[in-house]
Each structure stands twice: as structure tokens, then as C-alpha cells.
Amino acid sequence: MYVYDDFDTAFLKERNRQFREQVARRIDGSLTEDEFRPLRLMNGLYLQLHAYMLRVAVPYGTLNPNQLRKLAEIADRWDEGYGHVTTRQNVQFNWPKLTDVPDMLDALGEVGLHAIQTSGNTIRNVTSDHFAAAAADEIADPRPYAELIRQWSTDHPEFQFLPRKFKVAVTGSEIDRAVTKAHDVGLRMVRKDGAEGFEVIVGGGLGRTPMIGKVLRDFLPVADLLPYLEAVVGTYNLLGRRDNKYKARIKITVHENGIEAVRDLVEARFAEIAPQFDTAATLATLARIQGMFRAPEFRQVSDLAYQAAHGADPVFRAWADTNLHAHKAEGHAIVTISLKAHGATPGDMTSDQMRLIADLAERYGYGEIRLSHEQNVILPHVALADLPAVHKALKGRGLATANVGLVSDIIACPGMDYCALATARSIPIAQEIATHFDALKLEHDIGPLKIKISGCINACGHHHVGHIGILGLDRAGVENYQITLGGDGSEDAALGERTGPGFAYDQIVPAIERILRAYLELRTSREETFLQAYRRLGLGPFKEALYGAERHAA
Amino acid sequence: MSRAPKIHVVTANALIEGDVVYLTAAEGWTRDLKAARAFEDQTEAEAALAKAAKRGNEVVGCYLAEVRLTAQGIEPTHFREDFRRRGPSNYAHGKQAAA
């Protein structure tokens, strides 16, 4: 992974020194809250419902064991002993004291982590495929490009005060695990005439006006990546609306001006600025970065131990069948560690769990750890022979739940349990759905299903692209949950369709059960997933299952 | 239906800890909603808010939260204020840990 050079280290140290002084000036009264707020937000520090929250950037979701151990140390020393994995591959601490934050940032700096641009109207942490460099279906590792973009965008003087936040996702595979079509800019690696480049997608996003991104350029050569991105963000910086916060994202700019007009402006700007970029130097930097992301030498080991455990141990087999993904190297697998034990808070990881995962990554995983936007942890490279040992260790810390991609593997935003913007709770809904279907023993029967829950229309829980999306609202002073069906965050991205009136807090789990029981009745076979059945049947039969009983009673 | 006058407390987040506080009758800050001063008069409530909002070295984001007076003391009227006075529902952290 990327290793900081002297410049990076000095930059971070200086930023942290500045913020320490800003905090001191806030506390001694020389800075008002209005003056301090933009400064703290630039350093990832929010004030939430019950406490401050520090959002740590995890570039493209990649961590090494020492970084994860440092997060564990921070959780124990300055927080409540856990961290929360977000839907943008970051880690949040929910309970820091203002006076402790400068020390927390210094601790992060020791392992090359920070919280810069995890908030504010800037280019946010660049996200990527959590299976990068491991998946068999990949053209190339997207992370060196994500790192190049990170370096270009961090502290970029032109882009510190954009009309609104700006999120970029990069994937190196045809299979989109990075939700590129729901980002301000999504970059999908493609090959043309033997050369690698990107399909550039613009104007996707969820929130109050959900939109699927549109193709801005079908092939962007790698050498043009930075000037083209600078042209896109520069165009948006001038054209994007600043009169209305809710119409300020680039998706609205594209929607109001049309993709053709935006494309013309971007291409004109690109033609103007591209000559100012030193392409050779950029490619040299890229090559240097790529050198740091070289794949490990994968061991050649017999998989007999794996086969034996798979045959003999049904618990291991269930876990292996749901939580593993095909690896590009023979004799290896990608392990998804579920942070969704039934009844647990989606995405929360205790400091003990962090240390165990760090140890396992070091011992069995070539030192690589990923966080997924689906709020799980990935060990991208594990030899099949080591899986029984890894599973055993995970089981001992409550990390071996065999539910990846199933009904209880739910994305949930923090909701009104933490977030100051939320209009309803998300976490308890996720906990109850998970425990309910676990008790019914229906999880494996239902099969692949993505439930995503947001506690307000800002849609951090990606509910619009959930096969089943749940949106928590405040309806006349009562929590109310709207359901959408048929959303999809993959390469076939689609927005879910609203079923109708929402459900009260204590009615939402029974409502989800009615939908899923209808699916079990209606599917042609076990092979037809919920999403496939929905696409075949449409909203009708599910609507009937949801509201029919009420209508007939009325 | 007659509209009863609304009752309010002044609430904010503490500057250092970030947790939820309420203005008391003695013009101090309490973590306990029941120990807050309830303003039955709108003008008095707004005057107290304006004064409290100047205490930026102690608190952040002052506002008036609607409450009702019950036999058990001050109770929030909205669920958001109920969560604010209690803390998150998934862990006994924050105020619940201190209780």
C-alpha cells in the first residue's frame, strides 16, 4: 500500500499542529463557534446528537495491521472502545471530547492516517472496490489511481469551497462493487485497443434527489486522468448552484444543464488546462505508486485442510459458502468478515476485534485489510489452507457470522441514535430485522438480499439502491418508515420504487416479513433471487402483500 | 380546542464533551432534563435563549426544546428530544453510562 514520504509526513504534522492551536483558540474564546466550525469540519470533526464525532479517512478502504491497531488504541484511550465503519469505507469515533481530538489526530498521524476532507464541501475520501487486487474479475488494481486522485485532491487550493461535497469512486472491474453510478464521479476501468482507461460517469447520487450517473466520457486514457478530473470539478465549481444547498450537488448541475452542455464545458476546460499538466511526471508518480501496490507473492499450498474442514464441519462450511469470494490466485480466497452479528450494530467493531483482525491479516493475510462500503471487513488474500484457522479465531470474537449478502447483512446509517441530521432511528431497525429472521431460520432460504436503511433523506444508508430500501422519517412527531423495492447498486444500478405509505416503528419488521414471505411464495425456484423475482413480477404482488390485509380489513 | 401555551427548556451541547445540556433556574447547565428550568412564558424563554446563546465558551447550538410538565417532572414532547436526553438505543453510552 501507499507509504508516506517526508512531504506527506511533514504536511500532516503541520496540519495537526494548526488544528491543535485552533482547538485551543476555540476553548480560550478567541474563536467563536461560527469561526471554528469550518475549521473542525475540514478536519473531520462533527458535533452530533450526544457528542462530537471524528471521521477518519481510510483511503479506498485499505488499512494495514498497524493502522487498525492504532484505531483500536484510539478507541480504547479516547473513545468507548469501538469504531464504526461507514458506508464510505471510513471509520467514525462517536464519543471524542474536543480537548482530546488533537491527540487523536497525532496518534492517527503516527500511522499515516488523518481526518482531512472527510467533511465539508471538498473532494471527499476516494472510495473503491473492497475486493481490489484480489478479485478474479478485475482489469487492474484501481487503488493506485485512487491514490493518485487522493494526492491531487487533498488540500487542492481550487476545490476547498465547492458548491457542495464531491465524492469519487473508482473500480477496476466490470462487476461494480463500488457503487460508481451513485457518485458525483464514478470511474470504471475499461480497456480499448489494449490500453487501459476509464469510463467516466458523472452526476450520480442518492440523497433527496436520487440519480443514476450518466456517462460523460466513454474512454479516458490514464494519462489524462488528472487534467480531466480537474476540468470536471472546475466546471462544476463555476456552474454548480450556490443559492440552494439542496440543488448544489453535481447531479443537479447535470440534470439542469443537460449532460451534453456539461460535456462541452468539461471538454473545453480540459483542452485549456491539459497542456499545463506535466503528463510524464504524473505517469512517473503513478508508476511509483503502483510499485507500492504490487501483489504479494502468493504461496502455493495444498488446500487439503480446507477441503477436510469443509466436509467435516457444517459451521465452517456455512461460513465458507457465504463469506468467501473467488480470488484471482489459485489456492486463495477473499474473506469477508461480517460486522453484522445478529442483533449487533451494523459496522461496529470493538478494539479487541480490531486487534484480532490485524493479527489475522498479519499472520494469514499478507498484511492487507479492507473496509467495505457495506460496513464489513475484508481480508483480501487468504490461502484456502489457512481458512479453518482464520474461521476459528474469528468465531472466538463473534466475527464468524455466516451472513454476507443475506437478509441480516444490512447497511444502516447511524440514524437518530447518533446523527444530528437524522429524522428517525436506523440501527434498532437493522438489529430487529436481523434477529427476527435469524429466529425464523429463514435467512439462508431467502438467499441473496441487500437491505439498506437510512434515517433521513440524505440517504447515507443507500436505501435507494437496496433491493429493499427503508427510509426513516418524522411524520407528525412519530417515526415512520417508507419502503422502496428493486433498487440495485451494482453495474446494473437502479433506484428502488416506493411501495406506498410508510410504517410505524413497531410495524416495519412485520412489513419486511410480509414482503419476504411473498417472495418465497412467488419465486420460480430457489435460484431466482429476490431482485430477479421483483424484476419479473414488478411492484404489484409485493404491494398486495404489504397493504392487502389492511385494505381488505377496511 | 384551546391551544395551551407551549413550554420550553433551553438546551445545547457542551463545548468540551459535546453532550446534551439544559439551562437551570440558577443559570447553570445540567445534564438532567428534570433539573432544567421550564419556561411557560414564550417571551421569557426567548430572552433566556438569547442570553444563553452568548455563552459560546460553554455550549454550542442553543435552542428552545418543547417539553410538557407531568407528575414525573419535565418530559420531552418530541422523540428526538427523548433520544437526546437519554443517549443512543444500541449501547448504554453517554448519559446512560453516567446514570
Question: Predicted confidence band at A550 (pLDDT cuts at 50, 70, 90)?
Answer: low
**C-alpha to C-alpha distance for A268 and A33, rounded to whole angstroms:** 41
Is residue A108 within 8 Å of A56, Cβ to Cβ? yes
* Predicted TM-score (pTM) above 0.90: yes
Q: Please report, as a single letter, which amino acid is at residue B23.
A: L
- Sign of the torsion angle spanned by Cα atoms A70, A92, A348, A442: negative
**C-alpha to C-alpha distance for A403 and A343, rounded to whole angstroms:** 12
Backbone angles phi, psi at A326, to 5 degrees: -60, 135
Residues in chain B within 8 Å Cβ distance of A96: 18
Q: What is the pLDDT of residue B1?
A: 46
CA angle in degrees (0–180, nearest 5) for A447-A428-A424 = 115
- Domain ranges within chain A, ordered by starting residue: 6-110, 142-292, 304-395, 411-553
Q: What is the pLDDT of residue B97?
A: 79
Can A142-292 and A411-553 be said to share one CATH topology? yes
% of chain A exceeding 70 in pLDDT: 99
Among A360, A307, A309, A315, CA closest to A331: A307
Q: What is the pLDDT of residue A549?
A: 67
- Record: contact A97-B80, CB cut-off 8 A: no
Is residue A414 within 8 Å of A82, Cβ to Cβ? no
Whether residue A316 is predicted with pLDDT greater than 90 in this model: the reply is yes
Among A213, A173, A187, CA closest to A465: A213
**C-alpha to C-alpha distance for A414 and A433, rounded to whole angstroms:** 16
Whether residue A430 is predicted with pLDDT greater than 70 in this model: the reply is yes
Best mutation target, B19, B57, B80, to test chain A (most A CBs within 10 A):
B80
Residues in chain A within 8 Å Cβ distance of B56: 29, 32-33
Compute the nearest-CA separation of A258 from chain B (Å). 40
- Record: contact B90-A431, CB cut-off 8 A: yes
Beta bridge partners of A82: A350
Whether residue A552 is predicted with pLDDT greater than 80 in this model: the reply is no
Question: pLDDT tens digits for A63-76?
Answer: 999 999 999 999 99
Helix (H) or strand (E) run with residue A381 in it:
strand A377-383
Strand A451-454 and strand A127-128: the pairing is: unpaired
Question: pLDDT tens digits for A454-476?
Answer: 999 999 999 999 999 999 999 99
Domain made up of A304-395: CATH architecture = Alpha-Beta Complex (3.90)
CATH 3.30.413.10 fits A411-553, yes or no: yes
CA angle in degrees (0–180, nearest 5) for A169-A339-A458 = 45
Is residue A433 within 8 Å of A345, Cβ to Cβ? no
State the DSSP string of A259-326: HHHHHHHHHHHHHHHGGGS-HHHHHHHHHHHHHHTPPP-------HHHHHHHHH-HHHHHHHHHHEEE
Q: What is the pLDDT of residue B5?
A: 83
Among A106, A91, A249, A131, CA closest to A183: A249
- Interface residues on B facing A, Cβ-Cβ cutoff 8 A: 13, 15-20, 56-57, 60-61, 77-80, 83-84, 87-91, 93-95
Q: Which three cell numbers stand for residue A548?
A: 392487502
Read off the pLDDT of each residue in A46-65 and give the average, rounded to a whole number.
98
CATH 3.40.630.20 fits A142-292, yes or no: no
Residues in chain B within 8 Å Cβ distance of A431: 90
Among A213, A217, A216, A142, CA closest to A181: A213
Question: pLDDT tens digits for A243-291?
Answer: 999 999 999 999 999 999 999 999 999 999 999 999 999 999 999 999 9
**C-alpha to C-alpha distance for A159 and A493, rounded to whole angstroms:** 29
Q: Which of B16, B56, B95 is closest, CB to CB, to A32?
A: B56
- Record: contact B16-A29, CB cut-off 8 A: no
Among B94, B32, B29, CA closest to B60: B29
Q: Which residue of A has its CA nearest to B21?
A: A50
**C-alpha to C-alpha distance for A257 and A490, rounded to whole angstroms:** 26
DSSP structure class, residue A501? S
Task: Give me the interface pTM, i.e. the ipTM.
Answer: 0.95
Question: pLDDT tens digits for A320-363?
Answer: 999 999 999 999 999 999 999 999 999 999 999 999 999 999 99
CATH 3.90.480.20 fits A6-110, yes or no: yes
Is residue A371 within 8 Å of A58, Cβ to Cβ? yes
Q: Which of B60, B80, B87 is closest, CB to CB, to A47?
A: B60
Is residue A164 within 8 Å of A240, Cβ to Cβ? yes
CA distances from A471 to A78, A131, A409, A416 (A): 32, 28, 17, 12
Question: Predicted confidence band at A551 (pLDDT cuts at 50, 70, 90)?
Answer: low
Q: Which three cell numbers stand for residue A522?
A: 412467488
Read off the pLDDT of each residue in A421-447 and give the average, rounded to a whole number.
97
Contacts of A144 (CB under 8 A, 6+ apart): A286, A289, A290, A292, A293
Compute the nearest-CA separation of A405 from chain B (Å). 23
Residues in chain A within 8 Å Cβ distance of B79: 416, 474, 477-479
- Record: contact B17-A51, CB cut-off 8 A: yes
Q: What is the pLDDT of residue A141?
A: 96
- Record: contact A50-B20, CB cut-off 8 A: yes
